[in-house]
Amino acid sequence: MDQSILHSNAWILTIIMIVVASWIFYRYFSPKTWREWAGAGAVQAFIIALYAEMYGFPLTIYLLVRFSGLDREVISANLWSTLLGVGEAGMMLSMIVGYGLLLLGIGLFAKGWHELYTARKENRLATEGLYQFVRHPQYTGLFLGLFGEGIVHWPTMFSVALFPIIVVIYTMLAYREEKQVLTEFGDQYQQYKERTPMFFPKVSDFRRLVTLLQHENKS
C-alpha cells in the first residue's frame, strides 16, 4: 500500500474520545449483575475498537486496500468515503447523519435513565414520558447511538460485527428484567407490556414522541 491513509495516527484524541464515551456510558448505565457487565464489556470493546480506528490506525481500510484490491485515488480512514469514492463530502455526510443518530440516542438514553430512576424512587412502574412509547427507552437510545456512530458515521469491521451482538445481549437482558418487573407489579405490568412495544415505538405514535422530545428540548 503506497498511499497514506488520511485522518489517522491521532492517538491522543483516540484516548480522549474513548475516555469520554466510556464515562458517559457507565455514568448512566451503572452495571451491577454479571449479565449487565457482559453487555457493558461488549459496548466497551465497541467504543475502543471504533475510536482506535477512527483516530488511530484504520485497520479496516488497511485490510481492504491491502488484500481486496481496493483502488482509490484518495483513501480516507472513513469506510463510506473510500468505498463510494466521494472523499471528504462522503465523510461529512456520514458524520452529520451519524452524529444526529448518536445525539438522539444519548438523549433517549439519559432521559430514559432519569425517568426510570424517578419511578424507582417513588416505588412505581415507569409508564410515563418515553416509557409510554417503548418499554426500554434506554436500550433504544443505546442502539441508536451505537448504530449512528459505529455503522453510519464510521463503520469498521469490529463495529459492524459487534453491533448485532450488543443488540442480542441487551435484548436478552431486557427480557430478564421484564420477568423481574412482572413479579413485582403483576397484572399492571402485563397490561403495560401488551400495549407498549419493546424498543421501537408504533408508527402511529411517532408524532406524539417527536412532540414530547421537542417540548423537553424547550423546557
- Domain boundaries along the sequence of the chain: 11-218
User: Do the Cβ atoms of 150 and 163 come closer than 8 Å?
Assistant: yes
- Entry field: residues in the chain: 219
The residues, any chain, with a CB within 8 Å of residue 71's CB and separated by 6 or more, are: none
CA of 48: how far to CAs of 27, 103, 161, 209, in Å? 17, 19, 14, 32
Q: Which overall architecture, per CATH, does domain 11-218 show?
A: Up-down Bundle (1.20)
pLDDT in tens, 79-135: 777 777 666 677 788 889 999 999 999 999 989 988 998 998 988 999 999 999 999
Residue 52 has pLDDT above 70, yes or no: yes
**C-alpha to C-alpha distance for 103 and 195, rounded to whole angstroms:** 28
What is the value of pTM for the model shown? 0.86
